[in-house]
Amino acid sequence: MKYYTIQPPDILKPYVRFFWVLEHELSASGSEYVYRSIADGCTEMVFHYQSTFDEINGRGQENGGPSGIQFQTNHYRRFITRQSFGIFGAYIYPFAVPRFFNIPSSETTNLTLDYDTFLGSAGRELEERIMLAPNNQKRAVILTDFLLMRLRYNTFTDDRIITSIRQVIHTNQHKTVAQLADAFNLSARQFDRRFKEYAGFSPKSYLRLIRFQDAIKQYGSNKSLTQIALECGYYDQSHFIHDVKTFTGYHPGFYFSGKAEGTEYRNADLQ
């Protein structure tokens, strides 16, 4: 399995964390690969340029899963393919959704939409160009041009809230909602409403998601689960176990073992 990232140009870095590529060859006839996406406070634009995945629902049934935008979510999902695959994606901040698409993030939470449904003819054209591109560097250029064009026409922005979301994602300070609201000179009610508009979740729910993501970033370290939980702001082991099970479907002991679905790319990244 091959996984790597491509940095966006500086002008896009305030909105796009990185582009990514995941490729895998299924050599044996009749083999399959199951991928499990976990809860995430950011949004992903996903393009399947080699084969496609079907989503496995709660009853074990498979439904078609085309390329599309997977918005910020507090759910895990499962996908399956029986062919070698190649995926190109963009990992974007939730507050970039209003800037790129002129829609509040609060209206997109837990949605997955294909490009035709969400963007119409512009989405269809973008998907076709990405699919026909000769390599992933070119795909990054095509998507960069598309997103820069969207920035020129949309001005949906609230710098204070964007700064607060960045702070939550990157500083690992484990502040309370009241502390964040006070830091940006907003009442708790104002802060909650505006934060949800740009992050897709209430501040309390988003802080929980980011705390979980901070813990997942410790994947591959030699730290004990207890140490990870404490460093990421969990007051006790039971809350840590509950969040990991809710957001991945696995007990943390199994998820961090390297045997869980959807961790293969993390293992490849460690090699």
Block mean pLDDT (10 aa), the chain, length 271: 95 96 84 91 95 82 77 94 94 94 94 94 96 97 96 77 90 80 88 94 94 90 90 90 96 91 75 46
Decide: 63 and 99 in contact? Cβ < 8 Å. no
Tokens of 51: 């084969």
Q: What is the pLDDT of residue 266?
A: 79
pLDDT at site 64: 66
Q: CA nearest 100: which of 145, 139, 153? A: 153
pLDDT at 271: 46
Tell me the pTM: 0.90
Residue with tokens 């560097």: 137
**Cα-based torsion angle of the residue sequence 65, 133, 124, 113 in order, rounded to the nearest 10 degrees:** 30
- Distance, CA of 134 to CA of 219 (rounded, Å): 33
Domain ranges of the chain: 2-153, 158-204, 217-271
CATH architecture of 158-204: Orthogonal Bundle (1.10)
Question: What pLDDT was estimated at residue 60?
Answer: 65
Cβ atoms of 60 and 88 closer than 8 Å = no
> Which tokens is 178 given?
């009241």
Instruction: For the chain, give the number of residues.
Output: 271
| The predicted structure's pLDDT at residue 222 | 85
Local structure of 257: helix, strand or coil: coil
What is the three-state SS of 60-102? CCEEEECCEEECCECCCEEEEECCCEEEEEEEECCCHHHHHHC
Fold for the domain defined by 2-153 = Jelly Rolls (2.60.120)
Instruction: Say which DSSP state 72 is in.
Output: -
Q: What residues have CB less than 8 Å from 47, skipping those under 6 apart?
A: 67, 87, 88, 89, 127, 130, 131, 139
